[in-house]
Amino acid sequence: MRRSLKAIALLVGAIFVAPSEAAADEWEFSGEIAGEFRYFPEPAQFPSQFDHWQPSLTIQPDFRWQSDNGKHQIVVIPFARLDAQDDERTHVDLREGYYRYISESDWTLLIGAAKVFWGTVESRHLVDIINQTDSVEDIDEEDKLGQPMIKLSLLKEWGQLDLFVLSGFRTRTFPGIDGRLRFALPADIENPIFERDDRRGAVDYAARYSNFFGNWDVGLSVFHGTSREPRLTIALAADRLFPVYDRITQGSIDVQYTTGAWLWKGEAIVRGGQGETFFASVAGFEYTLYQVFGKPWDLGLLAEYLYDGRDDGFITESFGLTTDAPFTAFQNDVFTGARLAFNDTQDTSMLAGISVDAEDQSLSMLIEAERRLGQNWTAELESRLFFNVDPGNLADALRDDDFLTFRLTRYF
């Protein structure tokens, strides 16, 4: 906690002494500061958790430099959150901090910490495996930690090939004992269990080929290394969960087909190394209606089906109870939603969606809205709700964790 607060103080200080375009023409400086207020209407389900309000502050400066000829780039994007309720949510991360060389021909080289996104669908990004999830930020698995890497990108007539060497494994963040949106037992992030003795030092490898063929956008990827998705084990005499990180091999494909107002999307993986080799997929569509309700608004209708064939039942091992594969809430689910873009000068937009478990009819709902205020401010509302949650569903731990978040961001 003290180290996090010290790092945040240093980061704030760096913002006020950071180079600006007026001070150094070669550097560009921007960033954002946000105040966030999260409210949980229901009292906490587990002991030690706080009850209702969770205010926090985030800071994310952005430093960029580029040489006159455009061949050399440096990007540094640190991130910090100060949370009033959960010590584990107070943390600092280097989201990106890398050097990139861009050749005059057909290749680029990146060295440092970076974020890489793979995927096409809305409800779950199955193929997105390079970066570790920053789970204390949100439960949607879209916030990521920076990943140290060497990335070589080849741009050819036959498509783009990205080759990765990944070192410095990042363990997943989890809410602390005081935090909401967690299991009945808190996760012990200080004592993770690794399959290999070299633990965080084990090098991972990945490759991705991407191209477009007419109306098709296609990505093929392979990953071999430490899984970003941990299993969870319960030590027999302990009051906490221990993350277990296995070495896995995963192959994946993501596609998107565009025709008129239709976007057809799909992602699929095959993973070995966590129990029996399993297959998982997400597939669906987005259809856009233009200028609805007699306004310049665009309405996108979404529907996706999620399948996951992993075996995540409990088994007994020497150090406690564990699972064959990490738990997932998306083994047989249907997601439907709508995205409304107002197409106004304030970039107002809304997204609402609901996921239904096809086996036990447990429901979860998300609502997001965003609007720009003037030139430098943005206001956001976000809500996640859980209904009719079956006691055997993974979401049962969150049944009292409906929440509403208001976020006000200042860009500079």
Compute the average pLDDT of residues 268-281. 95
Q: pLDDT at residue 140 above 50?
A: yes
Compute the average pLDDT of residues 291-316. 87
Q: Report the pLDDT value the prediction gives residue 5, as an integer from 0 to 100.
A: 54
Q: pLDDT at residue 315 above 60?
A: no
**Residue in the block written with tokens 């799909």:** 266
Per-residue pLDDT tens over the stretch 199-252: 677 899 999 999 999 999 999 999 999 999 999 888 766 788 899 999 999 999
Give the tokens for residue 8.
Answer: 């945040």
d(CA 367, CA 359): 24
d(CA 378, CA 389): 34
Q: What is the DSSP secondary structure assignment for residue 66, as one 8-state letter?
A: E
Compute the average pLDDT of residues 70-82. 97
Q: pLDDT at residue 36 above 70?
A: yes
Residue 24 — very low, low, confident or very high, per pLDDT cuts 50/70/90? very low
Q: Report the pLDDT value the prediction gives residue 392, as an integer from 0 to 100.
A: 86
Compute the average pLDDT of residues 34-57. 96
**CB 404 within 8 Å of CB 35:** no
Q: pLDDT at residue 190 above 70?
A: yes
Q: Report the pLDDT value the prediction gives residue 314, as an integer from 0 to 100.
A: 47
Q: What is the DSSP secondary structure assignment for residue 199, as one 8-state letter?
A: G
d(CA 392, CA 291): 43
Q: Report the pLDDT value the prediction gives residue 4, as an integer from 0 to 100.
A: 54
Q: Report the pLDDT value the prediction gives residue 7, as an integer from 0 to 100.
A: 54
Compute the average pLDDT of residues 357-382. 96
Average pLDDT of the chain is: 91
Amino acid identity of residue 379, one-letter, is: A
Q: Report the pLDDT value the prediction gives residue 343, as an integer from 0 to 100.
A: 97
β-partners of residue 101 are 72, 109
Q: What percent of the chain is predicted at pLDDT more than 90? A: 80
258-267 contact pairs (CB < 8 A, 24+): 258/215, 258/217, 259/215, 261/287, 261/288, 261/289, 261/290, 262/286, 262/287, 263/287, 263/288, 265/120, 265/121, 265/122, 265/304, 266/120, 266/121, 267/119, 267/120, 267/121, 267/124, 267/125, 267/126, 267/127
Per-residue pLDDT tens over the stretch 355-366: 999 999 999 999
